[in-house]
Amino acid sequence: MKPSDLFSEDSNCWRHSLATYMCPLIDCANYYRALYHAIVAARKSIFIAGWDIDSRIDLLRGDEANAVEAPVNICELLAWKARQNPDLRIYLLRWDSSLAFFSNREIWAKEVWEEQCPDNVQVCLDDTIPMGGSQHQKIVVIDDELAFNGGMDIAWCRWDTRKHEFN
């Protein structure tokens, strides 16, 4: 059996196709940089689903942050992009976590996003997860053309480089 035999369109996946390009992003510094530039270039849609989508996260840091015009904070960037292009649709799906995780997460996340972003940014907290479970996928799709899929959240304490320096 080939890996492609595992997928059946409209049964266990939406679509089966080949990508023309793929690049592994190992550290969050690289992922956040690529995500930042993809958001800035977005024209039609941005879909973000994750265990966490923390509005306080800066996607670029240091000299990189000082060298760009668009905001580097994820919430400010998405709000800026949504205001810049009112036809752009932005959808955020975040797990509405249990009290056990509140020390590391924004308590009023949905309200923060809704207060800071215009109406073309839709925020949803997934609270349908059974007790003891979590919504754990991490995926971003931009303009139905570019996707980021993997294990990195847009969350507190995730930013890292290849140096793995501890502060």
Question: Which is nearest to 35 in space by CA: 137, 142, 124, 132?
Answer: 142
Amino acid at 157: C
Beta bridge partners of 91: 47, 122
Give yes or no for a contact between 33 and 77, defined as CB atoms under 8 angstroms apart.
Answer: no
Q: What is the spatial distance between Cα 43 and Cα 82, in angstroms, rounded to a whole number?
A: 10
Residue 14 half-sphere exposure toward CB, CA atoms < 13 A:
1
The whole model's pTM is what? 0.82
| Whole-number pLDDT of residue 108 | 67
Render pLDDT for 28-69 as a digit per residue (tens, 0 to 9).
888 999 999 999 999 999 999 987 788 889 999 999 999 999
Asked whether the beta carbons of 81 and 137 are under 8 A apart, the reply is no
68-80: pLDDT as tens digits: 999 999 999 999 9
Give the model's pLDDT for residue 132: 66
Contact 142, 43 (CB under 8 A): no
Kindly report, residue by residue over 69-113, the tens digit of the pLDDT.
999 999 999 999 999 999 999 999 887 665 555 556 666 677 888
pLDDT the model gives residue 66: 96
